[in-house]
Amino acid sequence: MRVVQKYGGSSLATPARILNVAERIARAYREHGPLVVVLSAMGDTTDELLALAREVSPRPHPDALDLLLSTGEVVSIALMEMALRDRGVPAVALMGWQAGIRTTPSFGRALIESVESARLERHLSGGKVVLVAGFQGVTAEEEITTLGRGGSDTTAVALAAALRAERCEIYTDVDGVYTSDPRVVPKARKLAHVTYDEMLELAHLGAVVLHPRAVELAKRYGVPLYVATSLDDREGTWIGGEAQDMEGGRVVTGVAVDESVARVTLRGVRPPEGALKRLFGLLAEAEINVDIIITSVAGPDGLDVAFSLEAGDLERAIELLAARRSSLAYDRLDAEGGLAKVSVVGAGMASRPGVAAGVFRTLADAGIDVKMVSTSEIKISVVVEREQACRAARLLHTAFGLDDEAAEAEGTPSPQGGRREA
Ligand code: ASP
Ligand code: MG
């Protein structure tokens, strides 16, 4: 039975936490034998290294920056090897290149192309705990790369896939996946199990626990993920793995809130033919991500198009569209910031009607105005005023039967703070 574990930066932030993780790894080793453990950099190390680079160079060269950032994870594996050996656990620490992690040469956001797992296999057969530096790899030209922020999750899943591990356990400072962000919805409860698709929707929608890229990879290779805290032994959340219906065929699994949404509306775009192609081609070139898109039926006054986007991109989008006003040919541009997206997610809704009706009824009864809507097989998202988003999330959470009735209605417990197990 093969297991890959991963510990995040907050679990390794201090020498005491490193020793805590060493104890956990030693215990796993005694219980299950050799395993692979991926480590992040200690605490805020990566941010500190980035800041350091900027003090030396206003625009650090990407190759050199990756080399610098990769050192954070190397510190973690070296310290962990010491701590494990002190505990009588045979351990070997490997940098990404030593672990056979080959990537594309896109520095700062490299993609894993392959994992040459012979060395890992050899150490595992030799009875060792193999510690691997997360977030890094090597190009065909033998240059060190990093995978983008939060990339250690991806390292762990890639190794689990390459080694055909039975599962990948991710230990972090939150104790699992909740039905909603407990800071927004105090009655949120921990989920025992979510599907890959639910997790992807929840992660993209703001309830981030895992790097979406890691979840996508796990889905592609069918690697079951387990997310839990490294601070104690509370049960975490399973993602993927065998389909479980132990939660009574629930329809809705979670409610996510994204509080930084803006909307742009272009009125009277002419000619309507090819208007969408021109508009969204322009935005794509400028690397502005759009989310929900709504168009009117084209009439004599041209086409009306509204789209939502990340609030941080609004200024740039307005400037771009204003500058291209002549080629895009529209009558008017309206922009609105201060919005939020509230999404109801659940694999069960694909087969059950009435979820959208329930969402609209709940919001209408509360006098919350819905500005945009989008749906997928497993999700209904609405854009509302940001001031109303938290209330909308709480109401929907209650309406779809997700509330943890034992939770305090008052107060805002932190995700790891002594919550009742679901
Ligand atoms: N240390 C890297 C970061 O902070 C990678 C990771 O922790 O996953 O982004
Ligand atoms: Mg992380």
Domains and CATH numbers, the chain: 3-239 (3.40.1160.10), 262-337 (3.30.2130.10), 340-410 (3.30.2130.10)
pLDDT of residue 204: 66
Where are the strands (E) in 28-172, listed by range?
A: 36-39, 91-94, 101-103, 112-115, 129-133, 136-138, 144-146, 167-172
Is the predicted pLDDT of residue 415 greater than 60, yes or no? Answer: no
Predicted TM-score (pTM) of this structure: 0.85
59-68, 165-174, 188-197, 240-249: least confident range: 240-249
- On the CB side of 352, CA atoms within 13 Å amount to 16
> What is the average pLDDT across 247-265?
88
Ligand nearest to the CA of 45: 1
The Cα–Cα gap between 300 and 401 comes to 47
Annotated binding site for ATP: 6-9, 172-173, 178, 183
Tell me what the mean pLDDT of segment 326-347 comes to.
94
Q: Is the CB of 134 under 6 A from ligand 1?
A: yes
Share of the chain residues as helix, strand and coil, in percent rounded to the nearest 5: 35, 25, 40
> What does the longest C-alpha to C-alpha distance in the chain come to?
79
Min mean pLDDT across 232-246, 257-271, 326-340, 373-387 is at 232-246
Distance 372 CA to ligand 2 centre (A): 32
What burial class does residue 330 get, using C-beta atoms within 10 Å of its C-beta: 0-12 exposed, 13-18 middle, 19+ buried?
A: buried
* 7 touches ligand 1 (CB under 6 Å): no
Report whether pLDDT(400) > 60: yes
Q: What DSSP line would sit under 176-240, residue for residue?
A: S-BSS-TTT-TT--B-SEE-HHHHHHHHHTT--SS-HHHHHHHHHHT--EEEEESSS----EEES
pLDDT tens-digit series, residues 175-233: 899 999 888 999 999 999 999 999 998 876 655 678 889 999 999 999 999 999 999 99
* pLDDT for the residue 420: 30
Taking a C-beta distance cutoff of 8 angstroms, is the pair 389, 342 a contact? Answer: yes
Atom of ligand 1 nearest to the CA of 151: 8
Mean pLDDT confidence for 231-239: 94
Mean pLDDT of all residues belonging to the chain: 92
Confidence of residue 300 (pLDDT cuts 50, 70, 90): confident
Q: Is residue 242 exposed (0-12), middle (13-18) or buried (19+ Cβ within 10 Å)?
A: exposed
DSSP state of 286: T
User: 20 CB less than 6 Å from ligand 1?
Assistant: no
Q: What residues are designated binding site for substrate?
A: 46, 73
Dump the DSSP string for 355-388. HHHHHHHHHHHTTPPP-EEEEETTEEEEEEEHHH
* Nearest ligand by distance to the CA of 136: 1
Report the pLDDT value the prediction gives residue 147, as an integer from 0 to 100. Answer: 97
pLDDT tens per residue across span 145-188: 999 999 999 999 999 999 999 999 999 988 899 999 888 999 99
pLDDT at 412: 43
With a 6 A CB cut-off, is 109 part of the ligand 1 pocket?
no
Phi, psi dihedrals of residue 198, rounded to the nearest 5°: -60, -45
Measured from the CB, is residue 96 less than 6 Å from ligand 1? no
Ligand 2 centroid – CA 38 distance (Å): 11
CA distance 74 to 96: 9
Going by alpha carbons, the residue nearest to atom 8 of ligand 1 is 150
| For residues 33-59, average pLDDT | 98
The 10s digit of each residue's pLDDT in 95-142 is 999 999 999 999 999 999 999 999 999 999 999 999 999 999 999 999
Q: Which atom of ligand 1 is nearest to the CA of 153?
A: 8
Q: Is 42 in the pocket of ligand 1 (CB under 6 A)?
A: no
pLDDT bin (cut points 50, 70, 90) of residue 384 is very high
- The pLDDT confidence band at residue 348, using thresholds 50, 70 and 90, is confident
Minimum CA distance residue for ligand 1 atom 9: 149
Nearest to 307 by CA among 319, 318, 299: 318
| C-alpha of residue 158 to centroid of ligand 1, in Å | 15
Cα dihedral 15, 18, 24, 25 in deg (nearest 10): -130
Distance from Cα 135 to the centre of ligand 1, integer Å? 6
Ligand 1 contact, 10 CB (< 6 A):
no
pLDDT at 294 over 80: yes
Mutate which of 70, 149, 172 for ligand 1? The one with the most ligand atoms within 8 Å of its CB, which is 149
Cα–Cα distance measured from residue 295 to residue 415, given in angstroms and rounded to the nearest whole number = 39
Ligand 1 pocket, mutate which of 12, 77, 135, 155 (most atoms under 8 A from CB): 135
Q: How confident is the model at residue 410 (pLDDT cuts 50, 70, 90)?
A: very low
DSSP 419: P
The arithmetic mean of pLDDT across residues 397-403, rounded, is 96
Confidence of residue 413 (pLDDT cuts 50, 70, 90): very low
Ligand 1 centroid, distance to 53 Cα (angstroms): 16
Tokens of 108: 């700062």
pLDDT at residue 416, as a whole number:
39
